[in-house]
A and B are shown apart, each in its own frame.
Chain A
Amino acid sequence: MNFKIDTYSLDGGVPVIKLEGEVDVYTAPQLKQQMISMLEAGTRQMVIDLTNVEYFDSTALGVLIGGLKRIRERDGNLALICPSPRIRRVFEITGLDKIFDIYSSADEAKTGIEIIR
């Protein structure tokens, strides 16, 4: 299956979930589980890196929406790194680009994210 999930940290310790490949009905549950684990461990600021994602559908969008809702209930925030115009287009045509903070690179995300201390 063309999908990988990994984690790393931005400067300041903000955790990033890095996705690769295709995020769809089959693979999106792994993203959901990772997000839930991090929330349960107390994470209130999270970034999802979609740099190497080549397919992102409504199931994946639904997981992000659910994650955003849960993290905002904890006064936290979720941001996305999405340099690919093609993946960004999925957010734009559904209007979800107005709901999520979407950055074009990790550097942009670093300067754009408000660090919650």
Chain B
Amino acid sequence: MEAQGEPVVVELKIPCKPEYVGVARLAILGVASRMRFSYDQVEDVRLAVGEACTTAVEWGAKNKRDNTDIVVRSSISNDKLMIDVIDGAGQRQETPAEQDSIEPESLGALLITLLVDEVTVTPLNGGTHVKMVKYAG
């Protein structure tokens, strides 16, 4: 997939439920495999998107808002892949006890920061927007 000028966008919407996270991973694998990423980089992207979607699913369950969707939007350029994971899973408010524990969600956040080159997390009205960038080459 060679993109000149404007990025090419591939977008997927999945239910915010555990059984659909694998669908998002498969889609991003398809996108990343066609770019100039190494095998390890493709795997990094797949794992990072999996983690971002999983976090949304977990918060959706916690906030009793799992009847919502997760949008995974990939913007493909020659030199980078930008992925937006946007959910309506409610607010992410940790209790002080949760902040100190080695829970899977902290591991997930740690993994994302190690797997991609840039990540920003922005609270939305009723959800969260995670933006990740992986540079190719």
Q: Do A and B bind each other?
A: yes
Q: A25-B57, A25-B58, A86-B43 are in contact. Are A58 and B22 (CB under 8 A)?
A: no
Contacts of B51 in A (CB 8 A): 57-58
Binds A, one of B30-38, B81-89, B99-107: B99-107
Check B7 for interface membership: any CB of A closer than 8 A. Answer: no
Interface of chain B residues 51 through 94 with chain A (CB within 8 A): 51, 54, 57-58
Size band of the interface chain A makes with B? 10 to 19
Contacts of B108 in A (CB 8 A): 57-59
Check B116 for interface membership: any CB of A closer than 8 A. Answer: no
- Chain A contact residues, majority secondary structure: helix
Q: A24-B21, A55-B50 are in contact. Are A62 and B104 (CB under 8 A)?
A: yes
Contacts of A58 in B (CB 8 A): 51, 54, 104-105, 107-108, 110-111
Interface of chain B residues 15 through 44 with chain A (CB within 8 A): 18-19, 21-22, 25, 40, 43
Q: A25-B57, A26-B18 are in contact. Are A90 and B104 (CB under 8 A)?
A: no
Complex: A89 Cα to B46 Cα, angstroms:
14
19 additional A-B residue pairs with CB within 8 Å, beyond A58-B51, A62-B104? A1-B19, A1-B22, A24-B22, A24-B54, A25-B18, A25-B57, A26-B19, A55-B25, A55-B46, A57-B47, A58-B104, A58-B108, A58-B111, A59-B54, A59-B108, A65-B102, A89-B43, A90-B111, A93-B115
Interface residues of B (CB under 8 A from A): 18-19, 21-22, 25, 40, 43, 46-47, 50-51, 54, 57-58, 102-105, 107-108, 110-111, 114-115
Interface residues of A (CB under 8 A from B): 1-2, 22, 24-26, 55, 57-59, 61-62, 65, 86, 89-90, 93-94
Interchain Cβ contacts under 8 Å between A and B, 8 examples? A26-B18, A55-B46, A55-B50, A57-B54, A58-B104, A61-B107, A86-B43, A90-B47
